Structure 1
């Protein structure tokens, strides 16, 4: 043997838990982290300096969670946010719940007090695992620095696999400081998608027996990477489709056969088709109450073929005649293959009826008056931006107008807080979406109420030069609440007046952001062009009539067949 054979191996260099966290994130391909530092996570921020990670300093931890959520929806990757213990961690909670409700893959990293003082009510101590237990897919409290890599890898795997969702990783401060030469990896199990061929055969038989079949598309299609599979299926079968709020764009909203959104603020054509259908082919949807209205009277004549990756959703609210549980992409592809191999469906009278209903119920944009008509404005923006258009919507009337009137070419083009309905989502979501896909024309659509909830993120927008476009629909009120008080509470307008709003143009300009005001219809086209042509971030403050309502509307507790129409 040569002398070189006896050369001792170099000893492993000790690393802190904090540095192991950062290096693991780098190894997993993370590029952007949204967060806000504090005492209990300071070692991690010390380790971030000089790393490959781009840290985006938001101005409130809720903004970090919302931005990470939208980043995940837009990129198809796991979003990452981090915060310190106590109020930092609790400020993430609404964003974590939002990701859970909409099945968004997100890893939330929190610092915590040292393990030696846990349970003593130490400064900024919160049992964040206990607090978030109902709103996460999984939680991990890391107790040893050597376990950090495995914990983070496991968190990413759980967040993204199966039905996605948020995972919390809590790091006590002593674990972040602790030095270790060990690195325990996480073994990711191999999972090969399988197809239940008996269920697929039963689904085909049900479809071929139907005379009025309808595809009910949910947000799970985009999440499961099954967008093209569903498009291929509807192209092969010519079956009409309806969409939930979170599924808009799965089939382009102006495609033949797409009847629009169903539910409380859905189109008449969509809701009537559901009520008349004899078979619902439900793909990645969960029969949410906003979609079904009065559940007992929803689709009363229809059997159900239900595709979902989450077995707990099948039969939870509506019994399924055929259940296809598993990866949506493989399941829908298998069904499409069988449908193509057989005869064409005999459903032409149904498709003709649906097309006629869609044409008869098409929205009109010739509202009287000289004021700005928000639906027409939003439609014009989406069409001017073309296929690059992405709406990051806040919550309120503007959210429903965007869903009803904007053109969406893909499911990634519509980002909104669906299940939780969290006001304040729009601005940080726009930031996250634009950072995930810089080439897209991302437009935050917000109301004056929701915009004020995370207005501080204008500073984040300016700091990083994110060329986000903002359409701020200002009706000087909490519009949806006001509409319900008008219709269902005898016009008792209680605590909805926002007429003391600031001058939003001046506010944006104070943050160094270009802004302008629109309050007349003849200003709209020029304003749309200016907004979309701006090199950097730009805000269009759009003033509308506070009395404008969202129509149509299914009253609470009523069937989708009982739609109210405005004048």
Structure 2
């Protein structure tokens, strides 16, 4: 990526210490190199302190994009990214990105300006109760009252964001505090000790495995957030037990792993959903029994005892009672878990046969471009450096179902909140977090329009991002549900007046082209992956194509609808 004007040049002379300078120095002391932000009146002193700091500031074109991009750093590195915005609309525009990070347990530090303390509570210009608005969607929040408190608050904020169950932290700083003279304080990072190992729970879990004939691993995003991927891979391999994963757990086991049956849930694989419904022991590692994974909760894994590993004790037995709770940090817990199953060979064989029988096919004749086949081929051609960043909708599920993932960071998706507009700014952040990765933003035409302005960010910083827009001229997932469950009443889902996205991208200064025939796919992917700078491939697809299989509302996971049914 081009570095021109990325790192702000040093000042000629030192400036007096202020609260704003303490903010910048505390970020540098914590090891932050890149921040994503948008200036405004109440945060202007911090922006005045940026020159000379060594921080690289990325000017996104909407504060929501700043939050998504910063959270991408947390998703890729497990270290909190940083976004900065002004008061009022700047802060409220961050809310969706903060909520998205909260729902997916992503570390993030959001710094907002606030009106000066003497006018707080007077409905001053661009005053909003940022603290109150964000309270339900952060792990912790601060209103800074004294400039000298800033170093300690920022150190504590990163500790809270990154340790325990990760999540976003908000720091709201009034303008007078930013401008106040300050002496400073310690920038030392704080570290929360990990929970003790639950030895009794581990022994009970091992006993439960010995008794089971149909055990199954249920792997969730908590595995990724805890940094326990290698430990889970080793556990699955040495146990021989089959495994399924949630949307957030994809990539913990590589897609082609012989014990991996696929994603479970609403758009999960038939092999995975059937295994869940038939198992007699469900070993949950960092998953939360969310509704998109379980279907009708009372019908989920009806024959199974449950072992639930989670570092957040509040998740255990919240939705499904755990017969064996194991509440501790996942990394040492999984490493210490030594199950010794016996007599599970028929179960393993059954699931292997189903895995092969239910594998998707890409050779069905279609008149236009078949999006699942295109996405599958994309991930094959991109290889192990591939990082898919889908938006939300049909294409998101096609990515999950059909792309190959060698690691969890290869699949960055909005799970809990399901935020349209997620892909493009998040992919920008992912590319800054891991410049050598082959990061591909994959959007539908609906979601792409929600943060299309970030094409300007690609152009300004020369971010060599690959962008795919799958255009079916509809809000595809809503249209599919309306066709299936609302008697085909297609209400407000027609996007046939979309602009020509290739022309729009070119107007932003980004290379772009369109494909609409199957025979153009291979060359199109080669052009996309071979480009040195930012590039957009606009793909026209069938507006009536659906995502299969599908578990309808209120149904158990084995009651899947498919194209024939």
Q: 2:538 aligns with which of 533, 537, 541?
A: 541
Deviations, residues 458-484 of structure 1 (Å, cap 9, x unaligned): 000111111010111000000000000
Other structure's SS at 2:550 match:
coil
Q: Which residue of 2 aligns with 1:489?
A: 486
Q: 1:382 aligns with which of 341, 357, 379?
A: 379
Please show how residues 464-479 of structure 1 align to structure 2 within 5 Å: 464-479=461-476
What is the CA distance between 1:199 and its match in structure 2?
A: 0.7
Q: Does 1:144 align with 2:146?
A: yes
What is the CA distance between 1:112 and its match in structure 2?
A: 0.4
2:372–2:402 Cα contact (<8 Å) kept: yes
Give the Cα–Cα distance (whole angstroms) in 1 for the partners of residues 41 and 469 of structure 2. Answer: 36
Give the Cα–Cα distance (whole angstroms) in 2 for the partners of residues 455 and 145 of structure 1. Answer: 38
Q: 1:425 aligns with which of 407, 422, 426?
A: 422
Deviations, residues 467-516 of structure 1 (Å, cap 9, x unaligned): 01011100000000000000000000000000000000100101111111
1:278–1:302 Cα contact (<8 Å) kept: yes
Give the Cα–Cα distance (whole angstroms) in 2 for the partners of residues 356 and 389 of structure 1. Answer: 29
Q: Which residue of 1 aligns with 2:407?
A: 410
Give the Cα–Cα distance (whole angstroms) in 2 for the partners of residues 92 and 62 of structure 1. Answer: 5
Q: 1:510 aligns with which of 497, 507, 510?
A: 507
2:159–2:192 Cα contact (<8 Å) kept: no
CA distance 1:322–1:551, change in 2 (3 Å): same
Segment drifting more, 553-562 vs 36-45: 553-562
Q: Which residue of 1 aligns with 2:357?
A: 360
CA distance 1:190–1:287, change in 2 (3 Å): closer
- Structure 1: runs of 5 or more not aligned: 1-11
Deviations, residues 63-85 of structure 1 (Å, cap 9, x unaligned): 00000111211122111001000
Give the Cα–Cα distance (whole angstroms) in 1 for the partners of residues 547 and 435 of structure 2. Answer: 32
Other structure's SS at 1:415 match:
coil
Q: Does 1:565 align with 2:536?
A: no
1:237–1:345 Cα contact (<8 Å) kept: no
Segment drifting more, 555-564 vs 285-294: 555-564
Q: Which residue of 2 aligns with 1:296?
A: 298
Please show how residues 322-333 of structure 1 align to structure 2 within 5 Å: 322-333=324-335
Deviations, residues 323-378 of structure 1 (Å, cap 9, x unaligned): 1111100000000xx33xxx563211101000111111111112323300000000
Give the Cα–Cα distance (whole angstroms) in 2 for the partners of residues 566 and 469 of structure 1. Answer: 31
Other structure's SS at 2:45 match:
helix
Q: Which residue of 2 aligns with 1:176?
A: 178
Give the Cα–Cα distance (whole angstroms) in 2 for the partners of residues 229 and 157 of structure 1. Answer: 24
Other structure's SS at 2:560 match:
coil
Q: Which residue of 1 aligns with 2:5?
A: none
What is the CA distance between 1:561 and its match in structure 2?
A: 1.4
Give the Cα–Cα distance (whole angstroms) in 2 for the partners of residues 460 and 285 of structure 1. Answer: 35
- Structure 2: runs of 5 or more not aligned: 1-13
Q: How many residues align?
A: 551
Q: Which residue of 1 aligns with 2:28?
A: 26
Give the Cα–Cα distance (whole angstroms) in 2 for the partners of residues 344 and 374 of structure 1. Answer: 40
Q: Does 1:83 align with 2:85?
A: yes
Q: Which residue of 1 aligns with 2:17?
A: 15
What is the CA distance between 1:182 and its match in structure 2?
A: 4.0
What is the CA distance between 1:208 and its match in structure 2?
A: 1.1
Q: Which residue of 2 aligns with 1:119?
A: 121
Other structure's SS at 1:307 match:
strand
Give the Cα–Cα distance (whole angstroms) in 1 for the partners of residues 323 and 29 of structure 2. Answer: 45
Give the Cα–Cα distance (whole angstroms) in 2 for the partners of residues 491 and 179 of structure 1. Answer: 64
Q: 2:253 aligns with which of 251, 254, 277?
A: 251
Q: Which residue of 2 aligns with 1:369?
A: 366
Give the Cα–Cα distance (whole angstroms) in 2 for the partners of residues 361 and 507 of structure 1. Answer: 40
1:147–1:184 Cα contact (<8 Å) kept: no
What is the CA distance between 1:196 and its match in structure 2?
A: 1.2
1:13–1:181 Cα contact (<8 Å) kept: no
How much is the aligned-residue C-alpha RMSD, in angstroms? Answer: 1.2
Other structure's SS at 2:36 match:
strand
Q: 1:555 aligns with which of 548, 552, 555?
A: 552
Please show how residues 170-249 of structure 1 align to structure 2 within 5 Å: 170-183=172-185, 188=190, 191-249=193-251
TM-score, scaled to structure 1: 0.96
1:151–1:186 Cα contact (<8 Å) kept: no
1:146–1:184 Cα contact (<8 Å) kept: no
Deviations, residues 16-44 of structure 1 (Å, cap 9, x unaligned): 00000000000000011000000000000
Give the Cα–Cα distance (whole angstroms) in 2 for the partners of residues 486 and 315 of structure 1. Answer: 36
Other structure's SS at 1:90 match:
helix
What is the CA distance between 1:102 and its match in structure 2?
A: 0.1
Please show how residues 518-529 of structure 1 align to structure 2 within 5 Å: 518-529=515-526
Q: Which residue of 2 aligns with 1:99?
A: 101
Deviations, residues 77-128 of structure 1 (Å, cap 9, x unaligned): 1110010000000000000000000000000000000000000000000010
Give the Cα–Cα distance (whole angstroms) in 2 for the partners of residues 244 and 180 of structure 1. Answer: 48
Q: Does 1:260 align with 2:257?
A: no
